[in-house]
Structure 1
Amino acid sequence: MNIASRVVYWQGAGSGQSSARRRPRRTQESLDARRNRMRGGPVTNNVIRRVAGVVGRLGFASAMAGASVLEQHAVARAAETTTFQFPMIEVSQSWGVPTQFTIYLTATVGDQPGVTTFGVATPPPFDGGSMLDSAARIRWANLTTGASGVIDMAIRETAQQPCDCAPVPVPVFTGAGRIVAAATADGVAINVSSGLGTFTTP
């Protein structure tokens, strides 16, 4: 081999070695690019993290809004009034004339824990004075706890219509549980039939 041939051979060999050294670098860059594409790349990962944060905040906000709606719903349904299943019937007087009245009593629960408020759904009209007013005596029993009690409450309107003169409801601590209440005419009235109601006090 002459000198010129050796020079050409050496240049070709050097060129091949240089190419061989560069190829792995291009191959590594290609692998890195593929890995970034498979992993989503740093930009994509940042976007994913931001989206996850937004979704988390939206989820928390939605949960709080749902809790608020449930709370409002619970408040709206807190007080519940039950009309006695059987009315109290009495013979009393109206402006001095003996008259029979059918009176439905009520029990409202939920305003306060363990408290039952007794009222009158159909109060008899004002009778011209207070000397001959009739009343109701309510005997109640808590079937869950065994507690019991007796109250007297006015059942007539306190003035002649038109007026806002319904008898004042009476709150009683009956305790939470299943309540049974019986109402009989009191005062100058004659009891014809006792009223009876059953309900649950929270």
Structure 2
Amino acid sequence: MLLVVQDSGDLARVEACQAIYSAASSARVNWVKSSGLAVGDWRQTSSLPPALQTIRWSAGPLLYLGIYLSATHPFPPENWENLEGRVIERLRKWTGLLRCLSLRRRALVLNQLVLSKLWYRLNTLIPAPGFLTNLWTSILGFFWSGMHWAPGGVLHLPLNEGGEGLKCLHTQVCVFRLQALQRLLYGAGSSAWSVLVHAILRCI
């Protein structure tokens, strides 16, 4: 559960919603096992409703849906630790089969089995400095087996234009940002996440 609190009245409404949920489902939220992210100057848990005082409040990093959130660091390094190593390890497992793979099949392996590990975080977070550049060097080394026969940019072209259709990491990040902006500006209705985004943009 992720709570975005704007004023003290929100906390009372959370407790009221939890009471209605418990009455309707005969189930309770185990607040003792819950963690909360304290954002801003507010740090006093004594002003919270009794049910919410048992939450483990901290400034982060807090893991939520596979992403670390932090009130003190805009880009928690925990989101990128060991990720590059895991991708390179997956490349290493395919290295023994390179002689059996055509260039087209190598591109398919990279797009579907290797780079797919990155899309979730790149869709959600701004990558750490140098992360994409270092990873792209390893990807090119895997694709060409040490001998670069063409510029890396050629590989991103479609097959009918002489390329291999290999995903470009930097371009994919831009695509994710444009898709999010499109959903925000032209999405049907007013989803809960759009309210939060508008609040963040007003503070920039």
TM over 0.5: no
Larger fraction in helix = 2
Larger fraction in strand = 1
TM-score, length-scaled by structure 1: 0.23
TM-score, length-scaled by structure 2: 0.23
